Chain A
Amino acid sequence: MPKFLPTPVNALMRDAVTGRVTRRDVVKRGTALGLGSAMMGTLLRAQSIGAQATPGASPVAEKPVGWSITIPEGLRTDLKGKKISVVLGADGPGAPFDQACCDAFSEATGIEVNYIKGAELTDDRLQFYQQTFSAESPDIDAAQIDVIWPGILAIHAVDLTDVYKSQGTTSFQRIVDNNTVDGVLVGIPWFTDAGILYYRTDLLEKYGFSAPPKTWQELTDQASKILEGEKGANSAFTGYTFQGKAYEGLTCNSLEWQYSYGGGTIVDENAKVTVNNDQVKAALELARSWVNGISPQAVTGYAEEDARTVWQGGNSAFMRNWPYAYSLGAADDSVIKGKFDVTQLPAGEGDNATSAACLGGWQMFVSKYSKEQDAAKEWAKFITSKELQKARAIERSNLPTIGDLYKDQDILAANPFFGQLFDTFESGSVARPSTPTADLYNEVSIAYFTAVNGILSGQKTDIGATLSDLEGQISDILKDL
């Protein structure tokens, strides 16, 4: 649970959300602190939720979703009454928080926000965007876009450079660069993502391992030993879960394997294909040995949530996933609460071996077909602001794109691993080749994950031949660049 700094505003906020003060006290103390009307509105809303949630004004009340949101300064209020439709996260554990963000924005600016829940699989969401925007439809004003899409969606984007500059904060430069296509900022960095390794501290201790694995081979050995010992008592137990389904998530996983073995980034910055070499082969040979070994055969059908379900049910020793699984695993109703930790992903072996985390993350995009571009820009400014990134980090364990926030005590209290993995998040992650492949990225990625899925599932038995076919396929695709 996060601790608050004893600043007067935060103290007032805390009292408000826990229902320990009356409405009148909020106004009195707020006025004394010289708060603006937007902040005051938030406090009053927090108070009303807090008072409802805690009829007895108990000091240890459950916090309502969105309790940590503070409204950034300098939002326009002259757009009152406008309506915008925005596509945010999928329905699921994150949806109530996204809804709380919309409500807070509406309250502060008077702009009505229609929250459209995006598809759960990122591939499906891109298809929806492409169809909507190719038809030049004004139905979507702003949308959450993946880090690999700026090249694909650039032709539909409003340039957000000025909005980003007006925020007065700096996001990680590599993400800003990634989101800039021909000088146009296609999306404002909102939160970032990187693959990390989750491990069960209790099981590592039980089987005598003093530290989490440093290399993939070590992970294999530790997982085998733990699985051997645990499966007698729990037949559903498995050693390692990751995302092996034939979809974009597998491209992320497999890129981490091959890059950590020094096998390149699928396509390098000069658009040269790097999938058919000994390092990639070594990485995929090890990965294939996991299936039906430390990982179940079913892992070849797992997306993020499938892997997390097994992990959070206490049925896996290790998991590769994004940071979002941290706050869910640490929640009060989780059976693995207090029994796990995270670290960077293991390294490969051989020359250029390194630890690699696939860069993920989301940006806020504004459509050029929107009829309410000013309101949509205001929304983008709000949702990607430092204040909202902070709230999202505290409540959703999503990684901020603003470097300063990694020193924020409230955030570190909620996510102790943020500080420790800062280097990974800032610069240690490997980006998918969406820049050199531009609008052909998806085609390359589909060819890649289809081949890797075939190798993992056992459909393709000759790894060397599969990789040489894949190299040919990707080269053919890139002829259209």
Chain B
Amino acid sequence: MSGFREPGGGNDARSRLLPLKGSFMGTSATDAATTEPANAQQARRSMAPSSGIGRQQERLGWLLVLPSVIVVLAVAIYPLLESFRLSFTNYRITRPDRMRYVGLENYRQLMQDDVFWTALKNTIIFTVSSVALETVLGMAVALVIHSQFRGRGFVRTSILVPWAIPTVVSSLLWQWMFNDRYGVINSILIRVGLQDKTDNFSWISSPTTAMGAVVAVDVWKTTPFMALLLLAGLQVIPSDVYEASYVDGASKWQQFWQITLPLLKPALLVALIFRTMDSFRVFDMIFVLKAYATETMTVAIYAQQQLIATGRVGYGSALAVVIFLCIAVMVIGYTRLIRVEEI
């Protein structure tokens, strides 16, 4: 079908640099009606069908997306609106008959809730430190596995192992590695003389090191994911840019800062969006290692506690809405950054 062909000409290079965005917009059905190569925004503006065929195609287009629209409405929009609605009620799972609307009462309580503020602080510390470490390490790993060397395929595959292990399993794995008596981490520290045999230091249970320990687990697990996304970004940077800069006498260091990093920025931002959102919602790993302990309680754990453990659905929903808004603000911020890059 000609309507689904790739946009040609000037758009090509850009879509190569922006693999995600390019492929979405490239399938715009109205390309057939407009003959000149247009970028995504122009294509959307010229939606008005000019002929019978155009109208027919538009109808077909709507028909084809209808199932996805219904699915999104059912599994994303409806639950979201329901959370909003419940957040204005005093609903408790044990008292379905006494449910009533209380306006903004839950939000007012939330603002005065010390546990919530502690959880929010913990979440921000966790998100900032884990995402920063993952980005730096992930970049280093991506640069290494992007270069040519023997056994590269094997290294690329094996580096994904931590990401492939289910979170609960890797959490338990780390729980054993951190174990105060039998753990491999203390065993190594004793061998190199940094710890005494009778210390039996517990990294997870000591409030001062607990956050560091959970960040370490998260970094171990998600650095491969970061590396993979950045590797995809590196692969679309054309090699002639490097050749030209080599001819101009640029050092490797200058190449990294002047070429690699600016051209990698779109991929980097996409990776950061994914990771920031994920870290902000972290639940499973920390819950396995620390349950409801205060020093590592995140907003998602607190929401789970309120929604499910105590059955305070109204209050828990208010908490979930706040998490949703925080993430929405972050995503909007990031997409702004990307759009600035595009212009």
Contacts and interface: CB of A to CB of B under 8 A. Distances in A.
Interface of A: 123, 126-127, 130-131, 134, 152, 155, 231, 235-236, 238, 245-247, 296-301, 310, 315, 439, 442-443, 446, 449-450, 453-454, 457-460, 480
B180 A296 contact: yes
Contacts of B308: 127, 130-131
Contacts of B200: 235-236, 238, 296-298
Contacts of B310: 442-443, 446
Interface in B310-325: 310-312
A446 B181 contact: no
B181 to A, nearest CB: 4
Which size class do B's interface residues fall under?
20 to 34
A454 B206 CA distance: 11
22 contacts: A152-B94, A155-B94, A235-B198, A246-B290, A246-B292, A247-B291, A296-B205, A297-B200, A297-B201, A297-B205, A297-B206, A300-B293, A301-B202, A301-B289, A301-B291, A439-B311, A442-B311, A443-B312, A446-B309, A450-B115, A453-B294, A459-B293
Interface in B193-238: 197-198, 200-202, 204-207
B95 interface: yes
A130 B93 contact: yes
A130 B92 CA distance: 11
A305 to B, nearest CB: 13
A236 B182 contact: yes
A313 to B, nearest CB: 9
B182 A297 contact: no
A466 to B, nearest CB: 11
B171 to A, nearest CB: 12
A235 B197 contact: yes
B6 interface: no
B294 A454 contact: yes
A315 B94 CA distance: 43
B153 to A, nearest CB: 40
Contacts of A126: 309
Contacts of A460: 294
B58 interface: no
Given A131-B308, A301-B291, A301-B293, 10 more contacts: A130-B94, A297-B202, A298-B200, A301-B204, A315-B181, A439-B92, A450-B115, A453-B292, A457-B206, A459-B293
- Max count, chain B CB within 10 A of own CB: residue among A131, A298, A442, A460: A298
Contacts of A449: 292
Interface of B: 92-96, 115, 179-182, 197-198, 200-202, 204-207, 289-295, 305, 308-312
B295 A459 contact: yes
Contacts of B289: 301
Contact of B96 (A123, A134, A238, A315): A134
Contacts of B206: 297, 457-458
Nearest to A127: B308
B292 A459 contact: no
Contact of B309 (A123, A235, A453): A123
Nearest to B291: A246
A315 B310 CA distance: 36
A323 B206 CA distance: 30
A439 B95 contact: yes
A449 B202 CA distance: 20
A442 B94 CA distance: 11
Given A152-B94, A439-B92, A457-B206, A247 B311 contact: no
A57 B302 CA distance: 59
A453 B198 contact: no
- Max count, chain A CB within 10 A of own CB: residue among B181, B197, B200, B205: B205
Contacts of B311: 130, 152, 439, 442
A457 B309 CA distance: 23
B294 A446 contact: no
A298 B180 contact: yes
Nearest to B209: A297
Contact of A296 (B92, B94, B202, B312): B202
A131 B311 CA distance: 9
B95 A459 contact: no
A298 B202 contact: yes
A153 B323 CA distance: 30
Given A443-B312, A446-B309, A301 B205 contact: yes
A458 B292 contact: no
